[in-house]
Chains A and B, each alone.
Chain A
Amino acid sequence: MNIEPLLRMQNIRKVFSGVVALDDVDFTLERGEVHSLVGENGAGKSTLIKVMTGAYNRDGGEMFYEGKAVNFRTPEEAQNAGVVAVYQEVNLLMFRSVAENMFLGREPRRFGLIDWARMYREAGEVLRNLGLQIDPKAILGSLNIASRQMIAIARGVSLGAKILVLDEPTSSLTEREVSLLYDVIRRLKEQGTGIVYISHRFDELYAVCDKVTILRDGKFIATRPLAGLERIDLVCLMLGKQREDLEKKGATAFGEHHEAQISETLLETENLTRGRRLRNVSLRAGRGEILGMAGLLGSGRTEVARAVFGADAVDKGKVSLEGKQLKLNSPNDAIKAGIAFLSEDRKAEGIVPEWSVRENMTLAALPALTSLGVVSRAKQTEIVEKFMRRLGIKASSGEQKIRELSGGNQQKVLLARWLCKNPKFLILDEPTRGIDIGAKGEIQGLINELADEGLGVLMISSELEELVEGSDRVVVMRDGECAAELRGKDISQDSIIKAMATE
């Protein structure tokens, strides 16, 4: 009899050039267990997975696999031992057959040649065992996305995996396809395979997982059985809130509750729908109003912003500003109409790192600063001086490179990129994430001022204090839908968390 768990990770530590990504994290996986890892951005989920599967080498802690101390130095080593990460189907070869994909790099051979008959036979067996009716000779690219996803899993199984790591396995599946995945997972469970399951969707966790381990800011928070764990408690653990703390006030520069008299509708969306990510989202935002938007990672909040801004094509739905319906073909249409969008990902979607503060700040305003194709340096400098003063941007001059500035100052430059265009409606996705406290307060104060001047603001945030104290109204997103709309006295951390968590 085996009393040791399948996998035990203890006091795992991982540091990236001085930044602690994982600090003293424990994780235990039993045979036949489906164990979920949850946490918000930067919690350390993917780092833990990568340590587990040999993609990263840990800087501290111990790992026992079937009772024996192990140290996987490469993904290959982990794979040979039976610990396999199944990434999204993009890692497969579209133009090769199902069987070839499953046996890639370890094709059965005879006399130095590939033994095709055996490869198809064995692939067929693995597929049948998983209850999948897929022809091993089919070309992968001819299958739908769900089948490809199953092939990725089947590949792991055929590798002899005892532990399978599924990272967001449902992100590109439809609801019917998800149930197919559940069937496969149940069969694997019966065969004693341990499964690590990462997903943002609570419904899935409760449908398929036995236990959940919560990480936050690289730290281990708790491991709990899902049965009997209330959703609201799970969200509290993820966000690091005590249920009794939820009434605390005055943590932001918004001060006490922001209360505006809204008379006029500025922006309206109608049934915005995009696959499973957005489902019939209808919103209304008033002039001078700060509309807060809450939601866990993957709830669809950023997708709403991108849809309104024309950055992602929607399947259906309408957006209108001041009663006029907007084209949603490109950000340019939205910008011309007077909408501005501050992305949550400063580095990937915001700054042009090699450029100066001046060029970054005026990037979106260039057409207005140009005559006969030539950009007016004088007009650029005028804007830069004005907004460096107004927002208190700390840089040696407008010519300093933006990548040399602190996160808070970079964020202010990006805000100025939009403010200098005098927008009517401002979408802020995590406006204060990852910036120092001083800059945070300044930005919050600025948002307040802008709303008082009559701008409409949609403020997406993971910081509940910010939403509670800054918003006139709060919309809570869950699974791509508006789960709740809170206003006035109903806005509290408690009510937001409840709406995030429950049906």
Chain B
Amino acid sequence: MAEAMKQPAAKRSASSFADYAPTYGAAAALLLLVLANVLLTPNFADVDNFRNILVQVTPTMLVAIGMTFVIATGGIDLSVGSLMAIASAVAAISLDYGAYPAILAALLVVTLIGAFSGWLISAFKIQPIIVTLALLIAGRGIAQVISNGGQLIPFSNPSFEFWGKDSLFGILPVPILVMALIIGLAIFILRATIFGRHVIAVGGNENAARLSGISVNRTKIMVYALSGLLAGIAGLIYTARLGASDASQVGQTIELDAIAATVVGGTALTGGRATVIGTVIGALIMQIITTSFNMNGIKFSYALVIKAAIILFVVYLQRPKSH
């Protein structure tokens, strides 16, 4: 039963194109969207406007990057919005101790909660969608308890607000800087570090990963902790920009945008294939749709429907062609 050797040369170029095709599709969609807006939307092609889009996309972007790691293992994290709220509330009530202790406390809490869901998922084999759904519900409640029943907590703390409102050299908003840094780090971690390789291996073939000595449980716990940490940073930046903590509103339904951004970017929901750059593109697509509809005075409710249509279309373009 001789197995025919496949032709490596021809096969290879085809496959490496297929590898990036999903991301190319998303990139093309983004380009098209920008072009259409430059032509049709007044004042779209304006530096201020681009800066504004980037500041606005920051929370979704950070959460989506965490989501990319989670989805790469074949899981999902619905709790990110509630974790943003918890981070926001914890920081707001502890600002009296100083901006940095408050930031540290907030990030520590959400990272631990993320690790806790990872533990439930890996040690007890509960489905990620169930664990994080439970946390989506409970987390919002916890955030409201912390913030005294979900009241708006205004604050005035310049060194905290710096992270949301200030600009470096008067032109580069701090959130954009943080976002760029995290994007760069995430690309590096996923591609070059042992943790990133383990994440993809666990999603690509969990049995093979386990039999190769990878601690599947630890990898999953770390992935959910990372998602919690990034949701926390997103929540703090959002809160700092607002100048108040709004535990009942911050991060509402952000998990849906984050999942959409990840999937549109070409990360496979089944795990084992993930691209941070794709997610960055996906998040930008989501944000530009929202912004351009705002600028054209189209109702938000229409924007939702069109967003959904674009998601379906891009994902349709990326569907697997063979096997």
Contacts and interface: CB of A to CB of B under 8 A. Distances in A.
Given A331-B213, A332-B215, A436-B2, A363 B208 contact: yes
Contacts of A286: none
Interface in B201-251: 201, 204-205, 207-215
Question: Which applies to chain B's interface (DSSP): helix, strand, loop or mixed?
Answer: helix
Contacts of B2: 436-438
B47 interface: no
A400 B207 contact: no
A47 B211 CA distance: 30
A351 B198 CA distance: 14
Contact of B204 (A353, A437, A438): A353
B15 A352 contact: no
B197 interface: yes
A270 interface: no
Interface stretch (A177-185, A366-374, A478-486): A366-374
B302 interface: no
Interface stretch (B6-14, B22-30, B128-136, B143-151): B6-14
A400 B8 CA distance: 8
Contacts of A355: 200-201, 204
A355 B201 CA distance: 9
B46 interface: no
Nearest to A333: B213
A335 B201 CA distance: 17
Which of the listed residues B204, B205, B213, B272 has the most CB atoms from chain A within 10 Å of its own CB?
Answer: B213
A397 B13 CA distance: 12
Contacts of A397: 8, 12
Nearest to A377: B192
Contact of A331 (B8, B9, B11, B211): B211
Interface string A237-256: 00000000000000000000
A374 B192 contact: yes
A416 to B, nearest CB: 12
Contacts of A374: 192-194
B1 interface: yes
Contacts of B198: 366
B100 to A, nearest CB: 25
A401 interface: yes
A400 B12 contact: yes
B273 A354 contact: yes
A351 B2 CA distance: 21
Given A352-B205, A352-B272, A417-B212, A404 B195 contact: no
Interface in A220-242: none
Contacts of B195: 373
A311 B211 contact: yes
Given A352-B272, A374-B192, A343 B5 contact: no
Contact of B192 (A349, A351, A375): A375
Contact of A351 (B4, B6, B194, B208): B208
A435 B215 contact: no
A281 B116 CA distance: 39
Contacts of B4: 406
A371 to B, nearest CB: 10
B2 to A, nearest CB: 5
B273 to A, nearest CB: 5
Interface string A372-412: 01110100000000000000001111011100111110000
Contacts of A408: 3
A331 B212 contact: yes
B247 to A, nearest CB: 35
Nearest to A394: B5
B201 A352 contact: yes
A383 to B, nearest CB: 14
B4 to A, nearest CB: 8
Contacts of A364: 212-213
Contact of A404 (B11, B204, B212): B11
B3 A406 contact: yes
Given A352-B204, A406-B6, A436-B1, A366 B210 contact: no
Contacts of B11: 396, 400, 404
Nearest to B273: A354
21 contacts: A309-B211, A330-B213, A332-B213, A343-B211, A349-B208, A351-B205, A351-B208, A352-B209, A353-B272, A355-B200, A363-B214, A367-B194, A373-B195, A375-B192, A375-B194, A375-B197, A400-B15, A404-B6, A404-B8, A437-B2, A438-B2
Q: Which 8 A-B pairs have the closest CB atoms?
A: A396-B8, A352-B204, A364-B212, A335-B213, A406-B3, A332-B213, A349-B207, A370-B194
